[in-house]
Amino acid sequence: GAGVSQSPSNKVTEKGKDVELRCDPISGHTALYWYRQSLGQGLEFLIYFQGNSAPDKSGLPSDRFSAERTGGSVSTLTIQRTQQEDSAVYLCASSLEGGGRYTDTQYFGPGTRLTVL
């Protein structure tokens, strides 16, 4: 079946602009995660959705970052007033159950490479 998809694959924006990144999880997966991969910080957790609610937003680096999930499926990560330090690859993952399950495997999308000029 189809895997996790993300769009756009690349995004170049100017400092101060807003951007939206989209994630389509694997059909039927209830849990969705956003991670960020940058040269200086490695791979870090941003936010976790269970259905449409986000029980853990602890990884969002500032209030310029927000995310929503609708219909228990598609998720959008929005970054307002982008800064150069926001440049990174944003990865989305989904899993069947989430919430801490011993067999729960997270499957990753190809990522969106964001460059802020």
Q: Which residues bind other proteins (CB under 8 A)?
A: 4, 33, 35, 42-45, 48, 56, 59, 91, 93, 98-111
Beta bridge pairs of residue 67: 77
Contact 53, 68 (CB under 8 A): no
Our CB check for other proteins shows the closer of 7 and 80 to be 7
Tokens at 103, concatenated: 């067999």
Our CB check for other proteins shows the closer of 80 and 106 to be 106
Least CB distance to other proteins at residue 56 (A): 7
Three-state secondary structure call for residue 84: helix
Our CB check for other proteins shows the closer of 73 and 94 to be 94
Handedness of CA 43, 46, 51, 55 (dihedral sign): positive
Least CB distance to other proteins at residue 24 (A): 13
